[in-house]
């Protein structure tokens, strides 16, 4: 990790590839959650016996539902963290651009015979 004093170099190709990978991961997690929900529903339908769910089957259905819920919660948590990371990176880039603009301004003032601010 770079320190706040270090500038960040952002390669658009690398950033684009990373964003694509993150989108792929998020998509796979969403699909996994859907599959858990579908599996729970299918298992519950197959396990019915005269309108009741057998106790062992109910435990399995509950497991599937819990897994789907946890997958959804993890996706929300991960999404929030990725947003925070993105905001931090954008802030560092904006800060770096501001500092670079100040440096250019100071150099311009020195080159024109002025005193740097």
The contacts of residue 87 (CB under 8 Å, 6+ apart) are none
pLDDT at 66 over 80: yes
Residue 46 lies in a domain: yes
Residue 24 lies in a domain: yes
Q: Which of 29, 25, 94 is nearest to 68 (CA)?
A: 29
Domain that holds residue 52: 15-108
Q: Domain tally for the chain?
A: 1
The contacts of residue 106 (CB under 8 Å, 6+ apart) are 116, 117
Q: Which of 30, 57, 27 is nearest to 42 (CA)?
A: 57
Is pTM beyond 0.75? Reply is no
Range from 31-40, 72-81, 108-117 that averages highest in pLDDT: 31-40
Mean pLDDT of the chain: 68
């Amino acid at each position: 990790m770079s320190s706040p004093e270090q500038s960040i170099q952002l390669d658009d190709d690398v950033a684009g590839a990373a964003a694509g990978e993150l989108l792929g991961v998020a998509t796979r997690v969403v699909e996994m959650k859907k599959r858990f929900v579908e599996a729970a529903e299918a298992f519950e339908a197959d396990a019915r016996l005269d309108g009741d769910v057998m106790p062992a089957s109910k435990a399995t259905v509950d497991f599937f539902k819990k897994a789907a819920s946890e997958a959804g919660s993890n996706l929300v948590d991960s999404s929030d963290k990725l947003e925070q990371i993105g905001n931090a990176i954008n802030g560092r880039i904006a800060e770096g651009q501001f500092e670079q603009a100040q440096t250019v301004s100071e150099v311009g003032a020195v080159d024109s015979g002025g005193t740097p601010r």
